[in-house]
Chain A
Amino acid sequence: MKISIINGSPKLGKSTSELIVEYLTPLISKNNSIEVFNTNTTALNEGQLSGIICSDTIIFAFPLYVDSIPSNLLRLLIGLEKRQFPSQNIMVYCVVNNGFFEGKQNHIAVKQIKSWCAINHLIWGQGIGIGAGEMLPFLKDIPLGHGPNKNIGNAIKQLSFNILTRQGGEDLFISPNWPRFLWKVQSSLFVWYPRAKSNGLKKSRLFEQVQKNYLDNIKQLEQKGKKQ
């Protein structure tokens, strides 16, 4: 079986979607040919697009951006639709992760992929929505199916079974096995404040509002630059 995995994260560095692809790939690789396509730098070329539409199974792994599919992946979906699929016997699955705690907030993006699937007359498999995606890289040393990775481990296991058996499954929306209040506090203390500090910013600067005169100054500088 030829499986195409599309990492729809636009992030230049390591992403949660990449981690999810790393979790999933070993579980579905036996006797299958797997190719992973990244969409974060340049647009996929003609050969890559032809490769995707000739797959037996397509899996999308991507982050939720503003409640839906990020624009880079949207462009790819439209590009694939324009090429027309040679077969309608293609299974489609997706794994969406979001920055909010609740995996259920990914439901709209899953429905969008379902809609793309219906428009292209492909077979819908299953959608997984994972909450607190930014937390997953911090948990990567904990085995899947254990501790805070219990829910995600179970979901990935179920998804991989459905992919291997070419079955559909109920969409699953999960959050880490971790208290939400703790996650909320930790996101400020261990993510946003340290990252700001590493950029030389004090905590208070994270709350800054952009002032109009600041923008006017930028415009004046831009105009000066053009004149020179």
Chain B
Amino acid sequence: MTVIIHDLENTELQTIFPQIGKDTVLVSEKGSIKNCIGCFGCWIKTPGTCVLKDGYENMGWILSQAETVIIISKCYYGGYSPFVKNILDRSIPFLLPFFKIEKNETHHKQRYKNTFQLVVHFYGENITSQEMDIAHSLVKANAINLHATSCKVLFYQSFNQIA
């Protein structure tokens, strides 16, 4: 399964992906998303599922089914747009609260055996070289913490350049 997390309008997404297969899950903005409130309910109350019921509570399960996760986001300060970041903040039920140490750093243990490839498309008119450096570090860190098998970062002036 491919998961596309994006901050585009549906019509804009269609220009990039005219045909979206049945095995693709789109995570799009519906105007209802709530902020993660740091309650850890997704770990200690309803393990694996966020306690905020707004249509985005199953991100942990969705990521557990993914072979590829594609993120399309406007670049802000070398990171994601608020909606995309909100989705990632709500994705921690994909992991366990417990820690492991790898390469002398602590990271959360996996809840699922599943791993995926992470591909991030950042778009924006004036992405600076400083922001690109941050974005590279961020996606690499995300890939380590989400146990992705590989990661790739690409930059565009405009979203419609994403092929």
Q: Which residues of A are interface residues toward B (Cβ below 8 A)?
A: 9-12, 15, 40, 63, 65-72, 74-75, 77-78, 100-102, 105, 107-108, 111-116, 118-119, 180, 184, 187-188, 191-192, 195-196, 199, 201, 205-210, 212, 215
Contacts and interface: CB of A to CB of B under 8 A. Distances in A.
B131 A180 contact: no
Interface string B15-51: 0000000000000000000011111100111011100
Given A10-B35, A188-B98, A209-B64, A71 B78 contact: no
User: Looking at chain A's contact residues, is the secondary structure mostly helix, strand, loop, or mixed?
Assistant: helix
A180 B43 CA distance: 22
Most A CB contacts (10 A, CB to CB) among B60, B82, B105 go to B82
A116 B77 contact: yes
A105 B38 contact: no
Contacts of B81: 74
Contact of B138 (A67, A74, A206): A67
Contact of A66 (B89, B133, B137): B89
A63 B134 CA distance: 18
B35 A71 contact: yes
Contacts of B49: 210
B44 A206 contact: yes
Contacts of A180: 101, 106
B137 A111 contact: yes
Contacts of A68: 79-80, 85, 138
A205 B77 contact: no
A1 B38 CA distance: 33
Nearest to B55: A222
Contact of B36 (A71, A75, A115): A71
A119 B40 CA distance: 34
Given A65-B85, A69-B77, A115-B130, 9 more contacts: A9-B38, A71-B83, A71-B86, A107-B137, A108-B141, A119-B77, A180-B106, A205-B47, A208-B47
Contacts of B37: 10-12, 40
Interface in B113-156: 128, 130-131, 133-134, 137-138, 141-142, 145
Contacts of A105: 105, 141
B138 A108 contact: yes
B67 to A, nearest CB: 16
B76 A78 contact: yes
